């Protein structure tokens, strides 16, 4: 059974810092990996999707990498801003695309002004 882990559970950084959020998974036979952002009391916003054949994806100040062999993904946030404060979750589908997702518990990020 796939398990997704995100450590630490919380992170506090000063504004402007570059930071890395980690995600690990136990079964390397993944179809893709997706990073989400969740603001308090809100739904999930998809940030980046990395297909299993890809090594990384970029969107603005965000860069996500994937290393299937080691069961790891990282979300890199450049020049962090207070507006980046949220919970970040990674998830992998159980089988192929359009299948249920297994989530990590998330990392709650606080960016201090």
Partner 1 sequence: GAVVSQHPSWVICKSGTSVKIECRSLDFQATTMFWYRQFPKQSLMLMATSNEGSKATYEQGVEKDKFLINHASLTLSTLTVTSAHPEDSSFYICSASRRTTEAFFGQGTRLTVV
Is 106 a binding residue for partner 1 by CB under 8 A? The answer is: yes
Binder to partner 1 among 14, 41, 60, 113 (CB under 8 A)?
41
Nearest Cα to Cα of residue 14 among 108, 104, 96, 113 = 113
The number of residues that bind partner 1 (CB under 8 A) is 21
Tell me if residue 82 falls in helix, strand or coil: helix
Is 88 a binding residue for partner 1 by CB under 8 A? The answer is: no
CB 4 within 8 A of CB 25: yes
CB 51 within 8 A of CB 32: yes
Q: Which stretch binds partner 1 (CB under 8 A): 19-27, 28-36, 67-75, 77-85?
A: 28-36
Using omega within 30 degrees of 0 as the cis cutoff, is the peptide bond preceding 95 cis? Answer: no
d(CA 45, CA 27): 25
Is 83 a binding residue for partner 1 by CB under 8 A? The answer is: no
Is 34 a binding residue for partner 1 by CB under 8 A? The answer is: yes
Q: Which stretch binds partner 1 (CB under 8 A): 12-20, 29-37, 61-69, 70-78?
A: 29-37
Q: Which residues bind partner 1 (CB under 8 A)?
A: 32, 34, 36, 41-46, 49, 89, 91, 93, 97-98, 100-101, 103-106
């Amino acid at each position: 059974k796939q398990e997704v882990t995100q450590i630490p559970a919380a992170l506090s950084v000063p504004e402007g810092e570059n930071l890395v959020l980690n995600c690990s998974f136990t079964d390397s036979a993944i179809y893709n990996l997706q990073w989400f952002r969740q603001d308090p009391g809100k739904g999930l916003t998809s940030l980046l999707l990395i297909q299993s054949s890809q090594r990384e994806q970029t969107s603005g100040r965000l860069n996500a990498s994937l290393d299937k062999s080691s069961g790891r993904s990282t979300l890199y946030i450049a020049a962090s801003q207070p507006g980046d404060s949220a919970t970040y979750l990674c998830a992998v589908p159980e089988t192929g695309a359009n299948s249920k997702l297994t989530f990590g518990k998330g990392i709650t990020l606080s960016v201090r002004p």
